[in-house]
Amino acid sequence: MPPISPTLNPLSHIDTILHTCIHCGMCLPVCPTYALTAREESSPRGRIRLMREMYAGKLEMSDTFVDEMYFCLDCQACQTACPAGVQYGTLVEDTRKVISEKGREPFFLRIVKKILLNGILASRFRTKLVAAMLRFYRHSGLQKVIGAVGLPASLRARLDLLPPVAKRSFDASVGELVPHAGMKKGRVAFLTGCIMNVSFPEIHADVVDVLTRNGFDVVIPKQQVCCGSLHAHYGEVQGAMALARKNIEVFEKYEFDALIVDSAGCGAFIKEYGRHFENDPVYAQRARSLANKTKEIMEFLSEVGFERPSHGREQHVTYHEACHLVHTQKISGPPREIINSVPGAELKELPESTWCCGSAGIYNVVRFDDSMQLLDRKMNHIKSTNAEIVCTANPGCHIQLQYGIKRFGLNMDVVHPVSLLNRAYQRGHDTAAGPHKT
């Protein structure tokens, strides 16, 4: 097999990254898949060795090799632990791109990518259409009928992992400009995204409420699209770049100080737009500009300062750190700052808070059994906190943890930290307005 040249396949800096690894093994104790198997080839260090051999032409792109590349969660915990600064996420995602180009993905993964990534999420219209169909499935009684016909347990479980769908998408319920309240501090743009837009509009609404309360005009362009993160993480780079170009073109029409994102995976990927377009003469500078303006909502609030709520209630809260927030974006303190700002909220630290919950984009769909092993480990830790609220800041984690709560029979809610903050704001408002209500 001839070597696969990074130059011929244009893989960004892949050779440099491969040879940055010093094989120290610091990544092994933090790797969830290594913890499951104790196999060297299922660790970051082992996979780097496999990739180096494959690119050098010494190892075939076998089914075993491909399986290891997709057994990886791309959680990037290894990047946090790595003393040499190996950008493992870039490495595995670029390798998945090569696998995709050669048509070597597992058949089921290829079908999921074709339907979900390149079909549904690539179009705002199709995303909303499928969301409407899913809502009908849930509320028409069809879900109960299907659940009663003796489907295999694994298939029923996968159906339970389908995301919730709101009556109305967020972008359909809000104008293109939401003005600030009080003293104006600035003007921001806001990413509505794809799954968040139809599944968690209440989180978006909380974020916009918090931003306007803290003095920011919020611009919400109607023509924006999916950020492309799921596509890029699973090797569908061309699809990701098409979506990214559209977003660059849309957002550059507006004046704003920062692009605010409330989904960890989306924020992490948009911040990488500059890297993905570095060799594109048309989009390189435009991509860097948008990437440099992108701020995760809690990161932004921590930097600019935010109003501390005056009212709250006693509640035990724990916090699960989304992988692409803590490991990719290196944001860990601001969510805790927001939780701790809420009067009465007692933050109970979650053991292994930075470990992946097993959602990992579409991982819980295409590798369900592996995902459930990781979820069970996570839920045992969550259960040990005796919390009534588990906070997290990514839709995949949110859905996975909700499923885990049901699976374990626990009595708790999954809440975005900014939603927790907005509830406290609203509680203060209600308390202040109470005597005047009619």
Three-state DSSP at 106 gives coil
Residue 275 lies in a domain: no
Say how far apart CA 360 and CA 117 lie, in whole Å. 14
Looking at residue 433, what is its pLDDT?
A: 40
- Boundary residue ending a domain (67, 88, 105): 105
**pLDDT (tens digit per residue) in 284-316:** 999 999 999 999 999 999 999 999 999 989 999
Stretch 59-70: mean pLDDT: 96
Q: Is residue 125 part of a domain?
A: no
Helix-helix angle 417-433:297-304, to 10 degrees: 60
Residue with tokens 């659940």, as numbered in its chain: 147
Asked whether residue 400 is assigned to any structural domain, the reply reads yes
CB 382 within 8 A of CB 404: yes
From residue 378, give the alpha-carbon distance in Å to each of 26, 352, 416: 22, 8, 18
pLDDT score at 15? 79
Instruction: Say what the pLDDT of residue 431 is.
Output: 52
Q: What is the mean pLDDT of residues 386-404?
A: 97
Split at pLDDT 50, 70, 90, the class of 150 is low
> 88: domain CATH number?
1.10.1060.10
Over residues 81-104, mean pLDDT: 95
Lowest mean pLDDT among 100-114, 140-154, 217-231, 388-402: 140-154
Indicate whether 399 belongs to any domain.
Answer: yes
Tell me how many domains the chain contains. Answer: 2
When pLDDT is averaged across residues 104-115 and rounded to a whole number, the result is: 94
Single residue among 57, 83, 105 that ends a domain in this structure? 105
- Mean pLDDT calculated for residue range 397-404: 97
Q: Structure tokens of 213?
A: 């309360």
**Chosen domain end from 72, 105, 138:** 105
In our burial notation (b when 16+ CB lie closer than 10 A, e otherwise), range 138-150 reads eeeeebeeeeeee
Measure the CA angle with vertex 13, ends 66 and 281; round to 5°. Answer: 115
Mean pLDDT of 225-243: 96
81: in domain:
yes
Eight-class DSSP state of 433 = H
The predicted structure's pLDDT at residue 8 = 32
Long-range contacts of 40-44 (CB under 8 A, 24+ apart): 41/68, 42/68, 42/71, 44/72, 44/78, 44/82, 44/86, 44/88
Examine residue 203 and state whether it is found in any structural domain, yes or no.
no
In a domain, residue 18? The reply is: yes
Q: Binning pLDDT at 50, 70 and 90, where does residue 188 land?
A: very high
> With pLDDT > 90 as the criterion, what percentage of the chain qualifies?
86
* pLDDT digits 0-9 by tens, 319-341: 999 999 999 999 999 999 999 99
Sheet of strand 389-391: strand arrangement = 345-347, 315-319, 389-391, 413-415
- pLDDT over threshold 60, residue 7: no
> Which CATH number goes with the domain that contains 332?
3.40.50
Q: What is the pLDDT of residues 256-293, one digit of tens each?
A: 999 999 999 999 999 999 999 999 999 999 999 999 99
DSSP assignment letter at 117: I
Q: What is the mean pLDDT of residues 178-206?
A: 97
> What is the structure's pLDDT at 377?
98
Q: What is the pTM of this model?
A: 0.92
Note whether residue 26 is domain-resident. Answer: yes
Residue 316 domain boundaries: 306-429
